[in-house]
Structure 1
Amino acid sequence: MYTMPIAFKLQPMNKSRYTIRPQSAVILPLATLSVEINYILPPNSSLPETFPHSKDSFLLHSVVVPGAVKDASSTLDSIPIDWFATRKKQVFIDSSINVIFVGSSILSYLVSKGSMDEIREVLEKSDPSWHACDSIDTQGQTLLYLAIAQSRPDLVQLLLEFEPDIGARNQSGCSPLETASGAGEVLIVELLLARRARTERSESSNWWPIHFAAAGGHLEVMRLLLLKGADVDSKTEDGRTALHLAVEEYHRDCAKLLLAS
């Protein structure tokens, strides 16, 4: 409200499944307050079928409290319970609170299932400071790797909208561009290069993206990398160039392209 502080109390109907912090507080005029709702997953159980949405009900009680506090630090311990007694004041009760699950495990599962709309919804609802687009699964793979593994340029494009770390390495030490180059994912390579993914090798990698493409015989990927300035004479840690790798694997067209470059 513009002129009055508001006291609220938020309660889950299923009290054993959720914790809420703060469960109650006072919001000053024109101020905002973030509430954290945690879902307690019982041992040996799975997420609810409705996720990332919750069908559980929450009750929000709110009441105008003129001159109640001088600061916004009041929590449940300092708010008299009788403030929310309907017999004493006009208390508003809202039971239509919509809750959506967020977090690494949720996003990893949704990306593995390719649920585009739900992925976007969860990313949009996540706090920017969490860097949700850089979530990892239980195997340490980022969302970008999960999308590349499915050959899903549409998923990659969606994730790139939320500015993930495109230089993040997987457990094998490969970047998303190296992974996509080795898999021959032309559209994904193009998307990553458009976001200025590096065509050079990092300190933790033995090969450059062009080496992965040459070894796999991925001609169009090689064209894209060369157009973006990939070094045709770059060497692997054991001294081989992309041309060595193309010749060793009998990729004639790739060898022709490298010779022409």
Structure 2
Amino acid sequence: MKTSARRFGIGILFLLFGTPAVAGSYEDFFVAVRQDNPAEVIALLNKGFDPNTVNPNGVPAILAALQLNSPKVAKALALNPNTLVDVRTTKDESPLMLSAIKGYNDVSWILIQRDADINKPGWTPLHYAATGGNLEIVNELLAKHAYVDAESPNGTTALMMAALYGSADVVRALLAAEADLTVKNSLGLSALDFAQKSERKEIIELIASKMRVQRSKSGW
């Protein structure tokens, strides 16, 4: 019975990974991802290992690296021309979104240069960069024509997220890009409401000042 079970297990590995050697490579690969060991990952990729292989939880390698805070491996995978850069988590998060919010700017730059989707439906890389206070990537996304007023499924904009979680510098950048201050999300909250919730006086004043300027120009 034990022999049959063992043969069955080996058969499954063969079907999934081709040979026992490749099966071992699978384990080595994801150990290297977890340990943020780009040299081992690159060595396996050079031997023909697929950079889009999913981990035991079904997560593609580049997303797994970002989730595990392994930026060096994420960078190595982003640089690999065979890596798919627009894969998604179960929460519809892309590699660019995760690298932007975590501040892994080397990875974000590579993904942007590889034409990762900037204006995906729903939550966008700009939302995530703004939430993380990542001014460098916010500016780069805006320069690449990221839609400044993109709305999440509940109508939240990048400016709202910056007002609540981000930085004053990111708020300034979004205001300079003419973010719409009149937009409200599904709860009826505006960017100013988010700023007031954050209780950060500088951000409240930045948004309120911009609103006063717009009112004086348009009369609303």
Amino acid of the residue matched to residue 61 of structure 2? I
Say whether 1:46 aligns with 2:27. Answer: yes
In the alignment, what sits opposite 2:160? 211
Say whether 1:237 aligns with 2:186. Answer: yes
Larger Rg: 1
In the alignment, what sits opposite 1:114? 71
In the alignment, what sits opposite 2:170? 221
TM-score normalised by structure 2 residue count: 0.66
1:71-115 Cα shifts (integer Å, max 9, x gaps): xxxxxxxxxxxxxxxxxxxxxxxxxx9535321523334544212
Structure with higher helix content: 2
1:119-165 Cα shifts (integer Å, max 9, x gaps): 2442x245xxxxx1112357653211221242112211111010011
Aligned length: 177
In the alignment, what sits opposite 1:157? 109
Contact 1:211–1:236 (Cα < 8 Å) also in 2: no
Going from structure 1 to structure 2, the CA distance change for 1:18 and 1:101 (only over 3 Å counts) comes to farther
Contact 2:101–2:131 (Cα < 8 Å) also in 1: no
Going from structure 1 to structure 2, the CA distance change for 1:257 and 1:117 (only over 3 Å counts) comes to closer
Alignment partners' CA distance in 1, 2:106 and 2:44: 27
TM-score normalised by structure 1 residue count: 0.57
Unaligned runs of 5+ in 1: 1-15, 20-37, 56-96, 127-131
Matches within 5 A, 1:65-76: none
Unaligned runs of 5+ in 2: 1-11, 33-39, 54-59, 211-220
Alignment partners' CA distance in 2, 1:107 and 1:184: 23
Structure with higher strand content: 1
Going from structure 1 to structure 2, the CA distance change for 1:102 and 1:223 (only over 3 Å counts) comes to same
In the alignment, what sits opposite 2:142? 193
Alignment partners' CA distance in 2, 1:120 and 1:238: 37
Alignment partners' CA distance in 1, 2:79 and 2:151: 33
- Report % sequence identity: 19
CA RMSD of aligned residues (A): 3.2
In the alignment, what sits opposite 1:91? none
Amino acid of the residue matched to residue 114 of structure 1? P
